[in-house]
Amino acid sequence: MRVAVVVHPRAGREELTWDGRELRLRITQAPVEGAANAAVLRLVAGWAGVAPSRVRLVAGHRGTHKQVEIEGVDVLPH
C-alpha cells in the first residue's frame, strides 16, 4: 500500500497525524545524509505496525513530499 507523506524536519518533537489522505510527520532530524528519510521510515513503520524493513521510500527522496510503500498492510490505522 502506498501512502503520501509530508515531512517537516528539524521539529522540536516527533509528531504524526493522519487525515485519511496523507500522513504528516514532524521529525527532529535534519535532512542531512539520509537521517530524515530514515526517521520517516521508522515512524511510518511504527504507525502501520510493521517492521521498518517492510517500509520503503518510493518517491520524494530529496523533498518534503514523499511516497512510501508499506508491505503487508491492507488497511491503514486511523
Query: What integer pLDDT is reported at residue 70 of this predicted model?
Result: 94
Pairing label, strands 2-8, 65-70: antiparallel
Q: Domain coordinates of the chain in residue numbers?
A: 2-70
Q: List pLDDT tens digits, range 18-33.
A: 998 999 999 999 989 8
Q: What whole-number percentage of the chain has pLDDT above 70?
A: 100
Read off the pLDDT band of 39 (50, 70, 90).
very high
DSSP element (H, E) containing 37 = helix 35-48
pTM, 2 dp: 0.89
For residues 49 and 70, the answer to whether their CB atoms sit within 8 Å is no
- Record: fold of 2-70: Conserved Hypothetical Protein Mth637; Chain: A; (3.30.1200)
Pairwise CA distance, residues 54 & 73, whole Å: 9
